[in-house]
Amino acid sequence: MQSEVVVIKHSSRILKNNPLKDPYRRNLLVYLPPSYRKFRKRYPVAYLIMGFTGFGAMNMNVSAYSENIQQRLDRLIKTGKIKEMIVVMPDCFTKYGGSQYVNSSATGRYEDYLVREIVPFVDSVFNTIPKAASRCIVGKSSGGYGAMWLAMRHPEVFGLMATHSGDSAFEYCYSYGFAPFVIQIQRYGKGHKAVANFIKTQLDQRQPKNSDFHNVLNTIGMAACYSPNPKRKEYNFDLPFDIYTAEIIPEIWKKWQKFDPVRLVSKYKKNLGKLKLIYVDCGVKDEFNLQAGARIYCSKLRENGFKYTHLEFNDGHMNVQYRYDVSFKYISDHFSHR
């Protein structure tokens, strides 16, 4: 028996008229475990969501010295580390690099896309166990953020959550890039017109990109998710700082903070209490200071009396997919398999 990864062209009603005119027909990848075609049984489901600038199909990238997700899951199942499960890999990429898995008037309703369309679709097509206790949301980086966000808000859908190096404690993981941004953006013009020009001229597949590309794109991408403003004439979001001085604009920064997981634990206390698994890990050398966010998030969980697993490891932010060996075992052990 062999596993397989099915690729489905899914047409989304929710994304059809998204503000960025991004494709609404997207590839949905679904890992089916080795016994899926042989036995008439139902399986728990993990939804594996990608980080910023990522999309589901990238989990299948091949490499000479590391495993793709199918190879990893096959090994974990074969060696008895995890039980068989279905793993769903959606595409929530946007023109601005990512959706953060939230509903935004600047990018689209990606929270609704996952919760209201993809989950019911998967349950209708595949032999899933269609209940929260048998459904996990897991991801890394922005995907780790999405896992925290979606689990806190939808415990009736996702009963388990695993976050790897997820965006949190925004003052540590985002604001360090604001001062460089106002200098970097000058390459593309002056003031807000420079931002508009970057969006118009740089968001394509031409290579190489300037060394400042990622910081500029990341700041734009986060602003589009956390502080959208469809009424702004240059572009459809507000930056949380002055475009010339980089001084924080408090009223806009507060909009960002409303999405920060470390500031949402008390608000979603009732929902967090319904989760069967809260798994958090991060490398102590994380280049975006996300180890601080993970520690603060877990301290808030502890203060509110929640059980959780918090693990650290001696590595940074990049190329740490090997941590899925650990998280998927926790997921498998906490799933309801019936």
Question: Model confidence at 7, in pLDDT bands (50, 70, 90)?
Answer: very high
Say if CB 108 and CB 95 are below 8 A apart.
no
Q: How confident is the model at residue 40 (pLDDT cuts 50, 70, 90)?
A: confident
Residues 149 and 56 both lie in one domain: yes
Give the β-pairing of 160-164 and 277-283. parallel
What pLDDT is attached to residue 23? 97
For residue 74, give the nearest of 3, 139, 1 by alpha carbon. Answer: 3
- Please write the tens of the pLDDT for every residue from 220-255: 999 999 999 999 999 999 999 999 999 999 999 999
**263 burial type by CB count under 10 A (0-12 exposed, 13-18 middle, 19+ buried):** middle
The tens digit of pLDDT for each residue in 119-161 reads 999 999 999 999 999 999 999 999 999 999 999 999 999 999 9
Q: Residue 219: which of 251, 187, 195, 203 has the closest Cα? A: 195
Listed residues 257, 280, 309: the one ending a domain: 257
> Where a domain ends, among 239, 257, 275?
257
Q: Work out the average pLDDT over 61-81.
A: 95
Residues 6+ apart with CB under 8 A from 280: 162, 163, 166, 294, 297, 298, 308, 309, 310, 311
Measured in whole angstroms, the distance separating CA 32 from the mean position of its chain's CA atoms is: 22
266 and 302 in a single domain? The answer is: yes
The larger pLDDT score, comparing residue 240 to residue 40, is at 240
Q: State whether 271 and 249 are in the same domain.
A: no
Residues 318 and 288 in one domain: yes
Between helix 69-78 and helix 324-334 the angle, nearest 10°, is 60
d(CA 130, CA 70): 22
Res 1 pLDDT > 90: no
Residues 74 and 179 in one domain: no
Which residues 6+ apart lie within 8 Å of 47 measured at CB?
87, 88, 90, 114, 118, 119, 135, 136, 137, 138, 158
Is residue 42 very low, low, confident or very high in pLDDT (cuts 50, 70, 90)? Answer: very high
Residue 77 and residue 197 in one domain: no
Closest C-alpha among 127, 115, 239 to residue 185 = 239
- Structural domain range at position 125: 4-169+262-334
Within 13 Å and on the Cβ side, how many CA atoms surround 173? 29
Claim to verify: residue 109 and residue 49 sit in the same structural domain:
yes
Whether residue 36 is found in the same domain as residue 136: yes
Q: What percent of the chain has pLDDT over 90?
A: 96
Tokens 């004439």 correspond to what residue?
233
Virtual torsion, Cα 140, 142, 144, 150, nearest 10 deg: -140
The pair of three-digit structure tokens given for residue 285, joined into one six-digit string: 């050398």
Same domain, residue pair 59 and 208: no
Please tell me whether residue 68 adopts helix, strand or coil conformation. Answer: coil
* Average pLDDT over the chain, rounded to an integer: 97
User: Residue for token digits 């010295």?
Assistant: 65
Q: What pLDDT score does 62 carry?
A: 86
- Position 141 scores a pLDDT of 98
Confidence of residue 101 (pLDDT cuts 50, 70, 90): very high
Same structural domain, 119 and 8: yes
- What is the DSSP-derived secondary structure letter of residue 135? E
**Quick one: 178 and 164 in the same domain?**
no
* One domain, residues 83 and 198: no
Q: State residue 251's pLDDT score.
A: 98
Q: Is the pLDDT of residue 39 over 90?
A: no
- pLDDT score, position 337: 82
Domains in the chain: how many in total?
A: 2
Q: What is the pTM of this model?
A: 0.97
Of the chain, the percentage scoring pLDDT greater than 70 comes to 100
Show the tokens assigned to 271.
């929902």
Q: Which of 212, 230, 257 is the last residue of a domain?
A: 257
Name the DSSP letter for residue 219.
H
Average the pLDDT over 269-288 and give the result: 97
pLDDT at 279 over 90: yes
Residue 63 has pLDDT above 90, yes or no: no
CATH no. for residue 32? 3.40.50.1820
